[in-house]
């Protein structure tokens, strides 16, 4: 069982930055693939990015955030961070951290592949 807690959401102006953190419980966290998803008002939840576990530590991003957002992972602290730069109003959403094991590459962007979810942290980008 893994419990995930996100933090770091808030307000930012267009062009600004925010840093989200996802802290997990569990001694085998390093084995998990961890992803960030987001859900904007009135829209479906969408994939933002992910980092694979078990030593792979490969990173995958949605095209909409590639080059602006970066995921980092600290297994010693059971923490995955989402650094968000050059924010724009379209990044406004509730951001979720999710984790799962045994996720194959072709499923890494699918929310159904992840068994564990945090409660979400809200990000608002507005001038």
Tens-digit pLDDT profile for residues 47-95: 999 999 876 678 999 999 999 999 999 989 999 999 999 999 999 999 9
Distance CA 29, CA 90 (A): 31
- With a CB cutoff of 8 Å and minimum separation 6, the contacts of 126 are 11, 13, 14, 89, 92
Q: Under a CB-based contact definition with an 8 Å cutoff, are residues 11 and 126 in contact?
A: yes
What is the full DSSP assignment across 50-75? EE-TTTT--EEE-TTTBTTEEEEEEG
Does 28 or 32 have the greater pLDDT score? 32
pLDDT at 55: 66
Distance CA 26, CA 35 (A): 16
Question: Over the range 14-24, which residues count as b (16 or more CB within 10 Å of their CB) and which as e?
Answer: eeeebebbbbb
Of 6, 1, 16, the closest CA to residue 80 belongs to 6
Confidence of residue 98 (pLDDT cuts 50, 70, 90): very high
Confidence of residue 26 (pLDDT cuts 50, 70, 90): confident
- With a CB cutoff of 8 Å and minimum separation 6, the contacts of 44 are none
- How many CB atoms sit inside 10 A of residue 6's CB? 22
């Amino acid at each position: 069982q893994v419990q995930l807690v996100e933090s770091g959401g808030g307000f930012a102006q267009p062009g600004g930055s925010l840093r989200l953190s996802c802290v997990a419980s569990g001694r085998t966290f390093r084995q998990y693939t961890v992803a960030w998803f987001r859900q904007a008002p009135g829209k479906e939840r969408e994939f933002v990015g992910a980092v694979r576990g078990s030593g792979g530590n490969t990173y995958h991003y949605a095209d909409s955030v590639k080059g602006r957002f970066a995921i980092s992972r600290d297994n010693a602290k059971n923490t995955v961070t989402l650094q968000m730069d050059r924010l724009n109003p379209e990044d406004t959403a509730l951001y979720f951290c999710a984790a799962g094991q045994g996720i194959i590459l072709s499923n890494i962007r699918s929310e159904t592949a992840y068994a564990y979810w945090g409660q979400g942290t809200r990000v608002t980008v507005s001038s």
